[in-house]
Amino acid sequence: MSRFILITASAEYERTIRASIAPLSGSLQSFQASYLPESPEAIIHQQVGEQPEVLILGPELPRDEALKFAAVMDLQYPEISIVLVAEDDGELALNAMRSGVRDLIRPSADMEQIRALVERASLAAAGRRRGLAPNTAERPTTEGGRVIAVMSPKGGVGKTTVASNLAIGLGQIAPMSVVLVDLDLQFGDIASGLMIDPDFTITDSVVGAASQDAMVLKTYLSLHPGNIYVLCAPRNPIDMDGINGEHIVHLLHQLRTEFQYVVIDTAPGLGEHVLATLEGATDAVWVCGMDVPSIRGMRTGFQILSELNLLPDGRHVVLNMADRRTGLTVQDVEATIGAPVDVVLPRSRAVPFSTNKGVPLLQDGSRDAAAKGLRHLVERFKPNWEGPRKKLHRRAVVQ
């Protein structure tokens, strides 16, 4: 079986592609032609074993014919990612995405860029293949994926750290099927925490073509090496004035139809954007520190949202920076907030180090105690996860 297929009339471009994807496992089959076959079957029937993952359409192919061919290929073989080699003239990206093209590669792209794009397309193909398999446990429901709001009435409790690691952990379960959204519109720092320099932010995503077409919206997302997509907060805090609650509700609906998991890092408190997030959230991860103001703030938040009927069905309470030297216990926290603590993250020097490095704990395979707790949190969102037995959380201790 050839994992990659290339159609190009240029022997030189074929050599470039072969050299670019050489570090990736799997072989490349090339068809030297300046035209396309009448149907995708002409290519697929020449393959032995399983179907290929990525089809690369070379730069010499007529653009309109390439888009038509891609549309038919996407309809008949949706598990194969299509990559088109062409310069984007401003309209091509939209037309290509509507035709089922996964990515665009500039003809002048270097080998590293080509390899990254092809690998991304391959991961997407693997994710779609799992989603199309019968009886798969990871297939999203007809209503869409899970929308997970990471919440905290108080700031400074590690909410962004929890959200980033949760998204990375879910990305290991469902590669390319997770999007992390920074909805701290005034002072969000997901971009800096993950060392991302985004071309677009949420400001661009709630207006224009992106708000009308989910495929266009996906082109506005930033790709992270942890196999997740990221939608970053506005570059300028003033830009948040142009984003209202209705924008957020519509945005989350769009993302939910395209991704298996939508992880949202919300702003502290219960402002308009947070309440709009909760309207569409299936789960809420509540993060509190081991201090009295944070714990009491969570209790008040529960009470207010309960009165507003905005508490999501899935509730997950995370006690962060836990330290028994504070004089409090897990039982003290539970008694105050009136809910069980599901995950305890002990205070750890590895957490600020990973933040400063821009690499979440779950991305670098850390064995730190905090990383272990974060993995427990991720496991709660696996499709086949069954909740702990009653009062099992009482075994949690603060180190």
DSSP codes, 332-397:
HHHHHHTS---EEEE--THHHHHHHHT--TTTTT---HHHHHHHHHHHTTSTT--PPPTTGGGG--
- The reported pLDDT for the residue numbered 50 is 63
Q: Are strands 222-224 and 228-231 parallel, antiparallel or unpaired?
A: antiparallel
From 182, 196, 32, 6, select the one nearest 84 (Cα to Cα): 6
Q: How far apart are CA 59 and CA 74, in angstroms?
A: 19
CATH of the domain at 45: 3.40.50.2300
The domain of 127 spans: 2-132
Which phi and psi (to 5°) does residue 12 adopt? -65, -40
Low-confidence stretches of the chain (pLDDT beneath 50):
1, 133-142, 388-399
Residue 137 inside a domain? The answer is no
Same domain, residue pair 154 and 83: no
In contact, 131 and 138? CB cutoff 8 Å: yes
- The reported pLDDT for the residue numbered 178 is 93
3-state helix, strand and coil shares in percent for the chain, rounded to the nearest 5: 45, 20, 40
Same domain, residue pair 95 and 164: no
Residue 103 inside a domain? The answer is yes
Q: How far apart are CA 81 and CA 279, in angstroms?
A: 34
- State which of 78, 105, 132 marks the end of a domain: 132
Q: How far apart are CA 121 and CA 336, in angstroms?
A: 48
Q: How far apart are CA 249 and CA 210, in angstroms?
A: 14
Number of domains in the chain: 2
Which phi and psi (to 5°) does residue 262 adopt? -115, 110
Residue-wise pLDDT for 24-60, tens only, equals 877 888 898 888 988 888 888 777 656 788 999 999 9
Residue-wise pLDDT for 266-315, tens only, equals 999 888 899 999 988 999 999 998 889 999 999 999 999 988 888 888 89
- The reported pLDDT for the residue numbered 134 is 45
Same domain, residue pair 120 and 263: no
Same domain, residue pair 71 and 220: no
Same domain, residue pair 106 and 155: no
Same domain, residue pair 76 and 186: no
Residue 140 inside a domain? The answer is no
Residue 138 inside a domain? The answer is no
Residue 139 inside a domain? The answer is no
Same domain, residue pair 164 and 303: yes
Same domain, residue pair 100 and 188: no
Residue 82 inside a domain? The answer is yes
- The reported pLDDT for the residue numbered 135 is 42
- The reported pLDDT for the residue numbered 147 is 95
- The reported pLDDT for the residue numbered 2 is 63
Q: How far apart are CA 306 and CA 253, in angstroms?
A: 23
Radius of gyration of the CA atoms of the chain, in A: 23
Same domain, residue pair 259 and 322: yes
Q: Are strands 222-224 and 178-183 parallel, antiparallel or unpaired?
A: unpaired
Same domain, residue pair 189 and 116: no
Six-digit token string for 77:
């073989």
